[in-house]
Structure 1
Amino acid sequence: MRENILNKSAEMFLRLGFKSVTMDDLAAEMGISKKTIYQHYKNKTELVEASVFHVFDSVCGQINTVCDPEISPIRELYQIKRVVREYFGDEESMAYNQLKKFYPNLFEQLMKKKYQVFVESVSDNLRRGITMGLFREDIDIFFTSRMYFSGMSSIKDSDMFPPVEHSVPTLTALFLEYHLRAIVTERGLEELNQFINEEKITQ
C-alpha cells in the first residue's frame, strides 16, 4: 500500500501541482481513507518529500538505460531529452515552480542532489565527446558542465521564461542546441545538424 500511495501521489502532484492536491484528494482518487495514508506518511510534507525523490530516482533510472559509453555523446543528450519529455510532458515547469515556492527547503535538497548527479553525468559526456573528436579539446569541463546545469535549471523558471512564450520542451531543445553548438567540432556539427533535422521531422 505504501508504494501504491507513493506512485499515485507522485502522479497527482506532477499533474495537478504540489499545492493543489490535498490528502483528501489523494484518498478519494485511490478509494481509501485518509487514515490509511497517515499510517504510512505522517503528513503531506513527508509525502511530498517522498514523492519528489521517488520521481527523481525514477527519472535517473530511466536515463541510465539510455546512457551508453559506446554511443555518441550528442546522441546520448538527445536521448536523455526524450526520456525527460516522455516522463514529464509539459508538466515539469509547474512542478518545479510550485516546489520552489511552497516547499523551499525540499526544493533546495532536490537541487543539491540533482546538481551532483547532473554535473557528474555531463562531465563524463564532455570527456567522451572530446575523446571521440565531437567536442573541442579546449573546452573547460568544470565550467561547461556547471553552465549546462544552470541553464537547464533556469529554463523551468516561469518568471524568467513565461510559458506563454515557450513550453519547457521547446526551451529544452533550444538550450540543448545552444549548448552543443558552443562546444562541437566540425565533425560534431555535422552530427548535431542531423539530429536537429530529425527533431523537426518528428515534431
Structure 2
Amino acid sequence: MDIKTTILENSLELFLQRGCKAVTMDDVAKENGISKRTLYELFTDKSDLLEQCIGYLHCHMMQYSAKMEEDSQNLLELLFKIHETQSDVIINLKRNFFMELKRYYYPIYKKTVEKFTVYHREKTAEYLRQGQKEGLVIEDINIDLVTKIIIEISNIIEDSEVFPLKEHSRKDLFREVVILYFRGISTLKGIELIDKYIQINK
C-alpha cells in the first residue's frame, strides 16, 4: 500500500470516529507519522483530503459489494449478507459523518450524495433483474419505479431523525421494513427463501 492510500485509509477512520469538523490536518499528519509539508504535497487542503477519502470509501464499497456478490448464491442471500455486515455501530458512525458533512461541507456532501445515488440505483436495478432471472422476484414490476422506492426506503431507515438507533435497531428496521417490502415483490419461491433466511438469522 502506497503512502497516499495509507493516509486516505487512516484519515477516513479519523473522520468517521471524530467527525469531519473536529479532525484537523495536524491530527492527520500525526496519525500517519508524517510532516504537514508532506501531507500538503499530496492534498491541497482538508476539503481535498475529505473528498478523496470519500472517493476511497466509494471504491472500497464497490469492491466489497463485488466480493459479497461472488459469495452469494442468489439475490436474497446477498440481501441478508449486506444486512449482517451493517451493525448499529457502523450505521451510527456513517449517519454522524454524513450529517456533519452536510452541515459543514455541503458542496462535497451534495456531490457525494449524487455519486452514491447513481451507484445505488444502478446496482439495485441490476440486483432486481438478477432476482427475476433466478425466479425470486416477480416479472410484472416496473424496475425503475421499484428501484426508486427501494432507495427511498434505504434513505428513510438511515435517517436518524425518523428512526433513532436508540429506539429502532438495524435488525428491527431490516425485518419490519426491508423484508416486508421484498416479500411483496417476491415470487412464492422467493418468499420461501426469505422465510428460510429469517429463521437462520434469528
TM-score by length of 2: 0.87
Pick the aligned partner of 1:108 from 87, 100, 110. 110
User: Could you tell me how far 1:124 is from its partner in structure 2?
Assistant: 1.7
**What residue identity is the alignment partner of 2:105?**
Y
Give the Cα separation in 2 of the matches to 1:160 and 1:39.
42
Deviations 1:42-94 (A, max 9, x none): 21111100001101110111111121498211112222333455994642221
Match of 2:13 in 1: 11
**What residue identity is the alignment partner of 1:55?**
L
Give the Cα separation in 2 of the matches to 1:168 and 1:22.
31
Match of 1:123 in 2: 125
Higher mean C-alpha displacement, 96-105 vs 3-12? 96-105
Higher mean C-alpha displacement, 60-69 vs 138-147? 60-69
Change (3 A) 1:61 1:149: same
SS in 2 for 1:91: helix
User: Could you tell me how far 1:151 is from its partner in structure 2?
Assistant: 1.6
Pick the aligned partner of 1:158 from 157, 160, 163. 160
SS in 1 for 2:177: helix
Residues 96 and 157, structure 1, Cα contact 8 Å, conserved in 2: no
Match of 1:196 in 2: 198
Give the Cα separation in 1 of the matches to 2:116 and 2:79.
16
Identity, in percent, stands at 28
Higher mean C-alpha displacement, 75-84 vs 166-175? 166-175
Residues 72 and 78, structure 2, Cα contact 8 Å, conserved in 1: no
| Structure 1 gaps, min length 5 | none
TM-score by length of 1: 0.86
Higher mean C-alpha displacement, 143-152 vs 25-34? 25-34
SS in 1 for 2:136: coil
Give the Cα separation in 1 of the matches to 2:89 and 2:62.
11
Change (3 A) 1:94 1:169: farther
Residues 91 and 158, structure 2, Cα contact 8 Å, conserved in 1: no
Give the Cα separation in 1 of the matches to 2:94 and 2:87.
9
Residues 16 and 97, structure 2, Cα contact 8 Å, conserved in 1: yes
Give the Cα separation in 1 of the matches to 2:60 and 2:70.
18
Higher mean C-alpha displacement, 66-75 vs 137-146? 66-75
Deviations 1:179-202 (A, max 9, x none): 3122112221111011112222xx
Change (3 A) 1:70 1:2: closer
User: Could you tell me how far 1:165 is from its partner in structure 2?
Assistant: 1.5
Match of 1:187 in 2: 189
